[in-house]
Amino acid sequence: MSKVYIPRFDYMCQNNIYTGSVGAFRYRCCPLKKDEIDTVFMTSFYYNNCFDVELEAGRVSTKEFEYSQEGLDQAVAWLSSQIGD
């Protein structure tokens, strides 16, 4: 079972941002409209600094997923694969 938790898709439908962590591993999930297409935008990083500092330092991994429950399930699998890298 994955240690990564992301709320159900209906949480994303309300334009909510979700942040979580597993130990020192941090992640952020938010809805994103790009070229009139809704996606779920995921970011992850390993440092104890804030997101903006890590983003500026280039230490944040990002990936977009389909705007659906299946997309969120894929995001959880991607995040789980990032832990320990």
The distance from CA 79 to its chain's CA centroid, rounded to whole angstroms, is 7
Question: pLDDT digit string (tens) for 35-71?
Answer: 777 888 888 888 778 888 888 999 899 999 999 999 9
**Assign residue 53 a region: left if phi > 0, alpha if psi is -120 to 50, beta otherwise?**
alpha
Residue 82 burial (CB count, 10 A): 17
Residue in the block written with tokens 């809805």 = 31
- Which sign, positive or negative, has the C-alpha torsion 63, 58, 33, 25? positive
Domain ranges of the chain: 9-82
Q: What's the whole-number mean pLDDT along residues 4-28?
A: 89
Q: At 48, which amino acid appears?
A: N
Report the predicted TM-score, pTM, of the whole model to 2 decimal places.
0.82
**Spatial separation of the C-alpha atoms in residues 62 and 34, rounded to whole Å:** 15
